Amino acid sequence: MTLAIFDLDNTLLAGDSDYLWGSFLVQRGFVDPVEYEAANTRFFEDYKAGNLDIDAFLNFALSPLSQHPMAELLALRQAFLDDLIQPILLPAAHQLIHAHRAQGHTLMIITATNAFITAPIAELYGIDHLIATTPEIVEDQYTGRYVGEPCFREGKVKRLQVWLNDHQESLENSWFYSDSHNDRPLLDLVQNPVAVDADQALKRHAETKGWPVISLRLNQAPAGILRAINEPSHLPS
């Protein structure tokens, strides 16, 4: 099995679904507009700077889920998908995913953003396997807490290793696409790391390592990467 792994936010999406969800809650009046927006922005800046307190962030981000019944949350999420996610799906990302699928690769999204937000986005891209931070549910109600390992930085590696062990698979010939220096632990581990619309820290690291640096913000997926998927010996730098 060849595993093709994709980060989600700012990789397959032209934006960050976690941050956008927070902004959406503000717009819809589900949270305090001043305090929540300020905290949402502060955590997002911490993430980009590489010093995010993941536990503090998840306690903040998951708290609104505990304050509303499931049916209301599902309706709100659908409006979020329609209004803010559909416009930032990337045609080039669809092409990239299709190229891996055509080669029989196993497709996976691995993301720090919680599964309540990301599971339907994975479905929009037709990707069956999702590893995401898991919100706790008790009696069909979110508690505002998470269970297990947060799927962030080294946590992505740990969560993926559990999946590999459960499926008796390995990272041989594996691919991982990401925009963020926070994903270096996993990028350093796979056989074919690809920096996608990378932040400056990841771009520098990728160039030092000789990894491909590509963009999915254009109408077409880069020809060099599509060729490399079909002919692995021709992976571009």
* Count of H-run helices and E-run strands, the chain: 10, 7
Q: Which two tokens stand for residue 23?
A: 């902004």
Cα separation, 18 vs 46, in Å, equals 14
CA–CA–CA angle 189, 192, 197 (5° rounding): 100
In a 3-state reduction of DSSP, which class is residue 134? strand
> Three-state SS for 7?
coil
Whether residue 7 lies in the annotated active site: yes
Backbone angles phi, psi at 66, to 5 degrees: -80, -10
User: What is d(CA 223, CA 28) in angstroms, rounded to the nearest whole number?
Assistant: 41
From 9, 16, 183, 199, active-site residue: 9
Alpha-carbon span 234 to 237, nearest angstrom: 9
Catalytic residue chosen out of the listed positions 7, 16, 197, 199: 7
Which 8-state DSSP code applies to residue 174? Answer: -
**Closest alpha carbon to 33 in 44, 22, 21:** 22
As a whole number of angstroms, the distance between CA 203 and CA 51 comes to 18
d(CA 158, CA 165): 11
The catalytic site residues sit at: 7, 9
